[in-house]
Amino acid sequence: MTTSEILSLKPHSVWKHFYSLTRIPRPTGRMKEVTQFIKDFGNSLNLETKQDKVGNVVIKKPASKGYESAETVILQSHLDMVPQKNSDIEHDFTSDPIEAYIDGEWVKARSTTLGADNGVGCAMIMSVLEDQTICHPAIEALFTVDEEVGMDGANGLKKGFLKGSVMLNLDTEEEGELCIGCAGGRDVNVSFRFQPDTSVEKGDVAYKVSLKGLKGGHSGVQIHIGRANANKLMNRFLKDVVSNYEARIASIHGGSLRNAIPRESFVVLTIPGQLAEDLEDLVAEYEVLFREDFAGIEEGISFKAEKTEIPATLIPEEVQDDLINAVEGCPNGVISYLADFPGVVESSLNLALVESVEDKIEVKLLVRSSSESRKDWVCSSVESLFSLAGAKVEFDGDYPGWQPNANSDLLNTMEKIYYEKYEKRPKVVVIHAGLECGIIQSKVEQKLDIVSFGPTIYGAHSPAEAIEIDTVGKSYDYLVSILEKLK
């Protein structure tokens, strides 16, 4: 997308700021450049700007005339983005800008994630801060860091950093929805340790088997759709080829981030030379099988094998078998649904990463649940399964869910405003994806009244990520109307 194209979109100020954010590398864990950008922005407006020890930035804008007695409003979005790309392109998320473009009614990126999650929320907040024509209460604009992995920014908030009692989170991805609750989560880290096997059988040949073309997506938003998990599909093939074709695994790399449904998996394996043709036939058969099993869900599955150099080492047979059996037996996807919100996932499990590195195999999973009890239960089940397989299991990155408040004054006000503006009622939802709202509530001394909303984003956490252009203007107009009513 050229600068002139994006600046032609309306509202001009929001797209201007969003474009600026696409120019700044900001994957989770690399926040210094983007936080400095936000601080410079706040200082350029002569607004009080401060940063806490973990990197979160807050910019304070005084109340408009006549709004001095209104409750301070927190506007909150996260600065980091999920770095996902197709394997056939060269892109360094730590140094390269996002190449965005207009495709009809959508803004997309060229074979990478776009960063609309949650760059567009940040851009809307920046527009509010610089606009001198908007009437509003005192504003605390909170830009959190490292949300996508561990929610470190929200977890690092200290009491007293925020004073507001009303909070608008701008990280919901369906225009017309008002979110009032979400699931919590916990990371599961599994590791198999071993001494690499250097005894490659004479006469064996090596193949690289590649599974590509899956849709992937957000493990909270798309987990219920039934999209294929690359790690589960590859493991299904591996169990067959190891059991029946004397194959040995040299290396495996499937998936990347915990909160992204894995789209690709790559394995290097060896097999007796006389079975090479059989392996190639088996791979072709599995490609057909995978396409049939996921017809109507996955259209681009590619499963191929190509000869490669003989590896120097192999994963020991016992460890190889333990890994395959554990991954085969591990649940993946939806575990349970919420009784009070039909169709909304309560608990899920994403088998996100399976990767071998020298003398270790790492398996990483993300458990989500609106119930702390069920979250504990799913984690315990995974721990038992992989412990029986001889692996070490550890937990990390625990964060609480955000409990719904159907009697929220803020929600009532926002419902009325939406109906008055658009002559239809917004949909009030509880979502399975993780938001920072529950964590932020737990980190402040005051009781917060919180609602989340935002424009429509499709395919977050995957290279298919896109934002619907018209919903950006609609969401920003709605945000301005809410601020004007909170007098």
Q: Which residues are catalytic?
A: 80, 147
Burial class (CB in 10 A: 0-12, 13-18, 19+), 15: buried
Write down the pLDDT at residue 340. 78
Q: Which amino acid is at 53?
A: K
Instruction: Please give the structure tokens belonging to residue 309.
Output: 């150099």
Distance CA 406, CA 330 (A): 36
Write down the pLDDT at residue 2. 53
Strands (E), 134-227: 139-144, 166-169, 177-182, 184-193, 204-212, 217-218
Residue range 3-183+401-485 forms a domain whose CATH class is alpha beta
pTM of the model: 0.84
Write down the pLDDT at residue 4. 65
CA distance readout (Å), 228 to 76, 169, 222, 264, 331: 33, 31, 11, 10, 13
Write down the pLDDT at residue 351. 98
Query: Which residue's structure tokens are 């039909």?
Result: 342
Please check whether residue 1 is in contact with residue 101, taking contact to mean a CB–CB distance below 8 angstroms: yes
The residue among 283, 243, 249 whose CA lies nearest residue 269 is 249
CATH of 186-399, one of 1.10.10.10, 3.30.70.380, 3.30.70.360, 3.30.300.30: 3.30.70.360
DSSP string, 362-403: EEEEEEEES-HHHHHHHHHHHHHHHHHTT-EEEEEEEE--B-
The radius of gyration of the chain from alpha carbons, rounded to an integer in Å, stands at 24
Return per-residue pLDDT of the chain as tens, 487 residues. 455 688 899 999 999 999 999 999 999 999 999 999 999 999 999 999 999 999 999 999 999 999 999 999 999 999 999 999 988 899 999 999 999 999 999 999 999 999 999 999 999 999 999 999 999 999 999 999 999 988 999 999 999 999 999 999 999 999 999 999 999 999 999 999 999 999 999 999 999 999 999 999 999 989 999 999 999 999 999 999 999 999 999 999 999 889 999 999 999 999 999 999 999 999 999 999 999 999 999 999 999 999 999 999 999 999 999 999 999 999 999 999 988 788 889 999 999 999 999 999 999 999 999 999 999 999 999 999 999 999 999 999 899 899 888 789 999 999 999 999 999 999 999 999 889 999 999 999 999 999 999 999 999 999 999 999 999 999 999 999 999 999 9
Q: What are the residue boundaries of the structural domains of the chain, listed by start?
A: 3-183+401-485, 186-399
